[in-house]
């Protein structure tokens, strides 16, 4: 950690339409934006060594409050020196608040004004996660970017249910702010992001944005998307939601997404992303390329001696054939998942770097058009 670096400073160096090129400076290093954050759910980006994740171009990774509080436990991580030391990642880490996983993974979830009571999906043990406890866990982990605790309800819920959840999330956002600010030294070196909710409703999202502005946060996330509503509906929200948030703060679209989602969201003014897709898909045999996704399990690749992606410089593409990758994945070999994961993370970082260059050179519109024309043309 560098004491001469600011706690948190976001600068926008170029704009092209709604797209923004910038940098987020923090004590553990700078984050180039637009940025994609690989997901290190349980203190590991699955199948990758931390140094390799950095070499592929990642400036920041994500850790998961819910999973780490259950195993190995936030207090244990703190005793062992914090998450950065524990997993040997010296650069910034963003931790989510645990709210999404509580709602999606836990059994017998009960939501009250206090927080969420739930049973662990691991052993059935009882827990309570509140705004205050979420802030405490993220502080024990040593997070650099802390996320406010919020309530997520399905996009299919009624407007009344969506409105009630959004309003509760805003009350929890204020409690998160107070809990974070009481964190002593940690609050002096970390940042707190609020989360806009409101599903697909522009009025609810405006009310949420107004409440978050009133509280005041270092950055602002757009939550409640990528939960089954489809790309068209998501882009419909992104046509207005980023503009409801402060212009001078980073905007983070949580849980997104596919490569074409990222391009469309950057075009609409989003600065930060995270998603399990490149790692999870890699483990399942799907590779993302400039020419669209490839399912390496397909029989057509069984004797293909060409590279996975001629445009990629990762180990999987420069040293091994599609035929070998097909064999590894079909055989369930660990190396197959590792190589496919490495490729996908490299592709995602290359995509972000290409978008940063396009914004800086004033050609983001053309980049998006060319990307979609090629990405949708083929694959396999």
Q: Which domains, and CATH codes, for the chain?
A: 8-274 (3.20.20.105), 282-377 (no CATH)
pLDDT of residue 156: 87
Nearest to 356 by CA among 261, 271, 254: 271
- Cβ-Cβ contacts under 8 Å for 289 (sequence gap 6 or more): 308, 309, 311, 312, 347, 379
Q: Is 314 annotated as a binding residue?
A: yes
Q: Is 96 annotated as a binding residue?
A: yes
Q: Are 345 and 38 in contact (CB under 8 A)?
A: yes
In the structure, what pLDDT confidence band is assigned to residue 380 with cuts at 50, 70 and 90? low
Residue 335 has pLDDT above 90, yes or no: yes
pLDDT of residue 2: 67
56-100 pLDDT tens trace: 999 999 999 999 999 999 999 999 999 999 999 999 999 999 988
Residue 107 has pLDDT above 80, yes or no: no
Q: Region 265-290: what's the mean pLDDT?
A: 98
Largest CA distance in the chain: 60
201-221 pLDDT tens trace: 999 999 999 999 999 999 999
Q: Which residues are catalytic?
A: 96, 274
- pTM score of the predicted model: 0.97
Q: Region 234-239: what's the mean pLDDT?
A: 98
Q: Is 150 annotated as a binding residue?
A: yes
């Amino acid at each position: 950690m560098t004491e001469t670096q600011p706690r948190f400073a976001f600068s926008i160096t170029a704009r092209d339409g709604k797209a923004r090129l910038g940098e987020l400076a923090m004590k553990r290093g700078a984050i180039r934006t637009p940025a994609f954050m690989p997901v290190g759910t349980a203190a590991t980006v699955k199948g990758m060594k931390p140094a390799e994740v950095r070499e592929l171009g990642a400036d920041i990774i994500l850790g998961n409050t819910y999973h780490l509080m259950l195993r190995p436990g936030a207090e244990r991580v703190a005793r062992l020196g914090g998450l950065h030391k524990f997993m040997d990642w010296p650069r910034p880490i963003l931790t989510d608040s645990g709210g999404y996983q509580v709602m999606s993974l836990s059994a017998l979830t009960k939501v009250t004004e206090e927080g969420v009571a739930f049973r662990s999906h691991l052993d059935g043990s009882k827990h309570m996660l509140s705004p205050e406890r979420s802030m405490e866990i993220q502080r024990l982990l040593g997070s650099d970017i802390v996320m406010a605790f919020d309530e997520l309800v399905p996009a299919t819920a009624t407007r009344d249910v969506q409105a009630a959840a959004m309003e509760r999330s805003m009350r929890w956002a204020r409690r998160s702010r107070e809990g974070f600010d009481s964190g002593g030294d940690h609050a002096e070196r970390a940042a707190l992001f609020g989360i806009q909710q409101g599903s697909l409703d522009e009025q609810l999202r405006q009310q949420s944005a107004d409440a978050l502005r009133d509280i005041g946060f270092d950055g602002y996330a757009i939550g409640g998307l990528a939960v089954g509503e489809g790309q068209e509906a998501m882009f419909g929200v992104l046509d207005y939601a980023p503009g409801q948030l402060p212009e001078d703060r980073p905007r983070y679209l949580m849980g997104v997404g596919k490569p074409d989602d990222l391009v469309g969201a950057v075009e609409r003014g989003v600065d930060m992303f995270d998603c399990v897709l490149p790692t999870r898909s890699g483990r399942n045999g799907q590779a993302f390329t400039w020419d669209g996704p490839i399912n390496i399990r397909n029989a057509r690749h069984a004797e293909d001696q060409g590279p996975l992606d001629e445009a990629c410089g990762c180990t999987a593409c420069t040293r091994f054939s599609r035929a070998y990758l097909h064999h590894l994945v079909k055989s369930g070999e660990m190396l197959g998942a590792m190589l496919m994961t490495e490729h996908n993370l490299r592709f995602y970082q290359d995509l972000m770097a290409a978008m940063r260059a396009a914004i800086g050179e004033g050609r983001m519109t053309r980049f998006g058009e060319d990307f979609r024309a090629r990405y949708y043309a083929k694959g396999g």
